[in-house]
A = this chain, B = another copy of it.
Amino acid sequence: MILGAIEAGGTKFVCGIGNEDGEVLERISIPTTTPEETMRLVVDYFKEKKVDALGVGSFGPVDLDVSSPTYGYITSTPKKHWNQYDLVGELKNHFHVPIGFDTDVNAAALGESLWGAAKSLDSCLYMTVGTGIGVGAVSEGKLVHGMLHPEMGHILVRRHGDDHFAGSCPFHGDCLEGMASGSAIEARWGKKGIELASDSSVWELEAYYLAQALVNYILVLSPKRIVIGGGVMKQEHVYPLVRKWVIQLLNGYIQHKNVEGHIDTYIVPPALGDNAGLCGALALARQAYAIKKTS
């Protein structure tokens, strides 16, 4: 089976070809400029590839409600030119194959649950701590959607008593993303995360906020594994701090070996590395193909 994958990001679209085992065979990167320009290059790339299905993991917000007239659109994004853009519609104009479409983080969650750090588990959570904070989830073997797709990066956290930073989220100020994203770190300390590597108070605070969010995700979704990636997590010493705070905040309430004794294999980095986004999109293509076959 030949599957096409598109990782649609705010700065670049990564397109690739792979198979149903999550193997990426080739890839190219296309800059995100205007939809016309970017999508023309995307369409050109796939034109001769004879893909059996396409998968798109996209920056958002996106409309994932198949009964909606704007299904497949990137909706109210601040990203210039892309507001209310019919991404899936444009692909359908050129390719008559099943098309899977979801958020970039839901795609990554599905990819990690099929071929990565949460392999063979029917639930997992994938969080990326980068410029912003995005989270996707698989629950009962399915990606989680409802009224809209989840927006877990914005959940409310308790501020640390010593932290007087107002928060950088334009909507909520001191929500998780406003306190713990890469942009928040830069705004709070006046330096990029990488320049703060040796300042332990930065990472203790970072872990405190991330752990609060994870505790709430655990209490709401009870994922069987939590995968955290993104630029900020290149600071690998943050993982043990996050694990420590999760245990401390749960305080014995969740009596499960994942939390008591095996937290090192419960909260983990991604296994798909630089291919996470593209593998996620492959996973969506595979899913779309399978659904088409059975319907």
- Which residues in A have some Cβ–Cβ distance to B below 8 Å? 61, 75-76, 123, 137, 139-140, 142-152, 154-159, 171-172, 212, 215-224, 249-256, 258
Contact = CB atoms under 8 A, between A and B. Distances in A.
Contact of A148 (B151, B159, B222, B249): B222
Contacts of A140: 139-140, 142-146
A145 B222 contact: yes
Contacts of A143: 140
A143 B139 CA distance: 10
A151 B145 CA distance: 20
The binding surface of chain A is classed by DSSP as loop
Contacts of A218: 147
A132 to B, nearest CB: 13
A168 B133 CA distance: 32
Contacts of A158: 156-159
Contacts of A221: 144, 146, 150, 220-221
A152 to B, nearest CB: 5
Given A252-B171, A253-B154, A253-B171, A146 B216 contact: no
B146 A223 contact: yes
Contacts of A155: 215-216, 219-220
A150 B220 contact: yes
A18 to B, nearest CB: 26
Contacts of A137: 220
A174 to B, nearest CB: 9
A220 B223 contact: no
Contact of A219 (B145, B154, B159, B258): B154
Given A140-B145, A156-B157, A171-B252, 14 more contacts: A76-B255, A137-B220, A139-B140, A144-B222, A145-B222, A146-B223, A147-B218, A147-B224, A147-B254, A150-B219, A152-B220, A156-B158, A156-B212, A157-B158
Taking each of A151, A221, A249, A252, which has the highest tally of chain B beta carbons within 10 Å of its own beta carbon? A221
A156 B215 contact: yes
Taking each of A142, A155, A171, which has the highest tally of chain B beta carbons within 10 Å of its own beta carbon? A155
16 contacts: A61-B255, A140-B145, A140-B146, A146-B221, A146-B222, A147-B222, A149-B222, A150-B220, A151-B219, A151-B253, A154-B219, A155-B215, A157-B158, A158-B159, A171-B251, A172-B251
Contact of A216 (B147, B220, B249): B220
Given A142-B140, A146-B139, A224-B146, A152 B256 contact: no
